[in-house]
A and B are shown apart, each in its own frame.
Chain A
Amino acid sequence: MRGTLIYIGQRLVLIAITTVLVSSIVFVLLHQIPGNAFLNETRQSPQTLAAELHHYGLDLPLQQQYLNWVQGVLRGDLGESLVNRGVKITPLLIRETTVSATVGFFALLVTVGLGLILGVIAALRQNTWVDYAASSTAVVGYSIPSFVIAIFGLLIFGHYLYIWTQGTFFYQPGWGKIEQIPVPALALGLPYASYVARLTRASMLETIRTDYVRTAWAKGLKARVVVMRHALRNALIPVVTILGPLVTGIITGSVVIENIFGIPGLGKEFITSILARDYNIVIGVFTFYAALVGLANLAVDVIYPVLDPRIRY
Chain B
Amino acid sequence: MPGGTLNAVDGISFDVDRGEIVGIVGESGSGKTMTALSLLRLIPEPGKITSGKILYGEQDVVQMSDEEIREFRGNEVAMIFQDPMTSLNPVLRVGFQVEEAMAAHNRFTRQQARDRVIPMLQRVRIPAAKDRVRDYPHQFSGGMRQRAMIAMGVSNEPSLLIADEPTTALDVTVQASIIELLRDISRELRAAVILITHNMALVASLCNRVIVMYAGRIVEEGPTRAIFKNPQHPYTWSLLRSMPRVDETTRERLISIKGLPPDLGKMPPGCKFHPRCKFRVDRCLTEEPPLAEVDPGQDARCWVLMKNVQNPEAIAQT
Contacts and interface: CB of A to CB of B under 8 A. Distances in A.
Interface stretch (A191-199, A216-224, A284-292): A216-224
Interface stretch (A48-56, A77-85, A106-114, A304-312): A304-312
Dominant SS among interface residues on chain A: helix
Contacts of B91: 233-234, 237, 307-309
Interface string A275-313: 000000000000000000000000000000001111000
Interface in A183-240: 209-223, 225, 229-230, 233-234, 237
A226 to B, nearest CB: 10
A219 B89 contact: no
B104 interface: yes
Contacts of A233: 89, 91-92
B136 A211 contact: no
B186 interface: no
B213 interface: no
B86 A211 contact: yes
A218 B74 contact: yes
Contacts of A213: 89
Interface residues of A, number: 25
A218 B89 contact: no
Most chain A Cβ neighbours within 10 Å, of B75, B89, B104? B89
B10 interface: no
Given A220-B74, A220-B75, A220-B105, A214 B81 contact: yes
Interface residues of B, number: 29
Given A219-B74, A310-B136, A212 B89 contact: yes
A230 B89 contact: yes
Interface in B106-146: 136, 138
Given A212-B88, A212-B89, A220-B105, A310 B73 contact: no
Nearest to A222: B70
B44 interface: yes
B92 A219 contact: no
A215 B100 CA distance: 12
B78 interface: yes
A219 B44 CA distance: 16
B186 to A, nearest CB: 17
A309 B149 CA distance: 19
A308 B70 CA distance: 28
Contacts, number: 80
Contact of B100 (A211, A221, A223, A308): A221
Nearest to A237: B91
A215 B71 CA distance: 15
A217 B73 contact: yes
A230 B137 CA distance: 14
Contacts of A237: 91
A227 to B, nearest CB: 13
Contacts of A210: 86
Contacts of A209: 44
Interface in B38-88: 40, 42, 44, 66, 70-75, 78-79, 81, 83, 86-88
Contacts of B87: 211-212, 214-215
A180 B87 CA distance: 48
Nearest to B71: A220
A308 B92 CA distance: 9
Interface string B201-214: 00000000000000
A225 B40 CA distance: 18
B105 A234 contact: no
A167 B149 CA distance: 61
B270 interface: no
A218 B79 contact: yes
B200 interface: no
Contacts of A220: 70-75, 101, 104-105
A237 B89 CA distance: 13
Interface string A233-275: 1100100000000000000000000000000000000000000
Interface string B141-170: 000000001001000000000000000000
6 contacts: A212-B88, A220-B72, A220-B105, A221-B70, A222-B104, A310-B136
Interface of A: 209-223, 225, 229-230, 233-234, 237, 307-310
The 8 closest A-B pairs by CB, nearest first: A220-B74, A220-B73, A219-B74, A211-B86, A212-B89, A219-B101, A309-B136, A211-B87
Given A219-B101, A234-B91, A310-B90, 13 more contacts: A210-B86, A212-B87, A212-B89, A215-B81, A219-B73, A219-B78, A220-B71, A220-B74, A222-B104, A230-B89, A230-B92, A233-B92, A308-B90
